[in-house]
Homo-oligomer: A and B are copies of this chain.
């Protein structure tokens, strides 16, 4: 039985992630954030990247969101995770392990992505989420580009 039920408004959820990513900059983080919603659009968990705050190289936004949500449930077939940047191999494999039904992301990441670029993790996993890339791509890419400009 296919339990996947994509959330109703993927653009709105990604805009919520974009706002959260911007908030992360004031904590010294690269602006990347993720939001997990159920099939009715209720937010189950959300987080920005916390690599700098936590001095933890694996504290990516998606991992923080999963750790929060896993306190309540083990699997998320009926849920959608939205993230501003293509998940890396670690995050994508974690999302497969937790059976997140749909993963949508904004900007593609040819250098460090592991979803449709690099290791292309889903094609090797038992559970394969539905993947939608390039949603609100311009906003998500500009967010990162503007941040890195300020560092120069």
Interface residues of A (CB under 8 A from B): 55-58, 66, 70, 74-75, 88-90, 92-94, 97-99, 112, 114, 118-121, 124-126
Query: What's the least CB distance linking A45 to chain B, in Å?
Result: 14
Chain B contacts for A66, CB-based, 8 A: 58
Q: Are B98 and A89 in contact (CB under 8 A)?
A: no
The residue on B at minimum CB distance from A97 is B57
Whole-angstrom CA separation of A59 from B90 in the bound complex: 13
| Neighbour of A119 across the interface among B74, B99, B119, B126, CB < 8 A | B119
Contacts A89-B125, A112-B126, A119-B119 aside, 10 further interface pairs with beta carbons under 8 A come to: A56-B74, A57-B70, A57-B74, A57-B97, A58-B70, A88-B97, A89-B93, A89-B119, A114-B121, A114-B124
